[in-house]
């Protein structure tokens, strides 16, 4: 059930010690935070970890939210920095190619044929797969702009860059998304875009 309070009212109540108010804030934003985290992490488990870290960091820093931007923009900037830190740490964790688990993971990967052809033909499936193949920054700017319906200014605040730079990033991300779709779909891309 969605709370009848605005984000600002929930923040005020949370700062006054109302834990249920913060739980309402989490419920309100958890789906989109998870979606953004998934754009960076690529695996559900990593995305869940990032999302959980984000809400803990947001709670600890809630008193620093000054209301200049929307709460969602402030929260998404936490997602961005948390995800980037997570990815840097993850890159440092390397495994040996001689590790038996590496071979098991390769052997257990599904082949190129997927039996559920109907699901693969859906537009959202192809778009999501193409977005997953983009660089994290590209995936985030597209997700925030189209799914999050954030303005260029709000995305700039979340990413710590100027709105004009967001506009350029969005243009380039769209181009890369189109290229990914063209590679995947060839003749069907004109129907999707």
Q: Domains in the chain, ordered, with CATH?
A: 1-93 (1.10.1740.10), 120-193 (1.10.10.10)
**33-60 pLDDT per residue, tens:** 998 898 888 789 999 999 999 999 999 9
> Whose CA is closest to 158, among 30, 49, 149?
149
**111-161 pLDDT per residue, tens:** 444 444 444 446 677 777 788 888 888 888 888 888 777 888 888 888 888
21-40: average pLDDT: 91
Give the dihedral of Cα atoms 70, 73, 75, 77; nearest 10 deg.
-150
How many residues are given for the chain?
A: 193
Residue 167: the pLDDT is 92
Is 50 exceeded by the pLDDT of residue 95?
no
Q: CA-CA distance, 3 to 79, in Å (whole number)?
A: 23
What pTM does this model have?
A: 0.58
Would you say 131 and 139 are in contact if contact means Cβ atoms under 8 Å apart? yes
Cα distances (Å, whole numbers) of residue 66 to 28, 70, 80, 124, 151 = 19, 9, 19, 36, 19
Residue 26: the pLDDT is 92
- pLDDT category at 105 given cuts 50, 70, 90 is very low
What is the percent of the chain with per-residue pLDDT over 70, rounded to a whole number? 77
Would you say 104 and 98 are in contact if contact means Cβ atoms under 8 Å apart? no
Would you say 61 and 78 are in contact if contact means Cβ atoms under 8 Å apart? yes
Lowest mean pLDDT among 18-22, 37-41, 42-46, 189-193: 189-193
Q: CA-CA distance, 95 to 179, in Å (whole number)?
A: 32
């Amino acid at each position: 059930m969605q709370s009848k309070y605005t984000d600002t009212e929930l923040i005020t109540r949370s700062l006054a010690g109302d834990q249920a108010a913060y739980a309402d804030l989490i419920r309100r934003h958890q789906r989109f935070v998870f979606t953004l985290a998934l754009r960076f992490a690529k695996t559900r488990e990593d995305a869940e970890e990032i999302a959980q870290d984000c809400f803990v960091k947001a709670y600890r820093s809630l008193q620093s939210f000054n209301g200049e931007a929307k709460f969602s923009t402030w929260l998404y900037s936490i997602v961005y920095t948390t995800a980037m830190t997570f990815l840097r740490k993850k890159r440092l964790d390397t495994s040996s190619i001689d590790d038996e688990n590496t071979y098991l993971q390769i052997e257990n990967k599904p082949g190129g044929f997927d039996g559920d052809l109907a699901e693969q033909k859906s537009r959202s499936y192809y778009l999501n797969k193409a977005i997953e193949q983009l660089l994290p920054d590209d995936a985030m700017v597209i997700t925030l702009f189209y799914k999050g319906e954030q303005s260029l200014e709000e995305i700039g605040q979340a990413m710590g860059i100027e709105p004009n730079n967001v506009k350029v990033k969005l243009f380039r991300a769209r181009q890369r998304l189109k290229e990914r779709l063209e590679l995947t779909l060839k003749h069907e891309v004109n129907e999707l875009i």
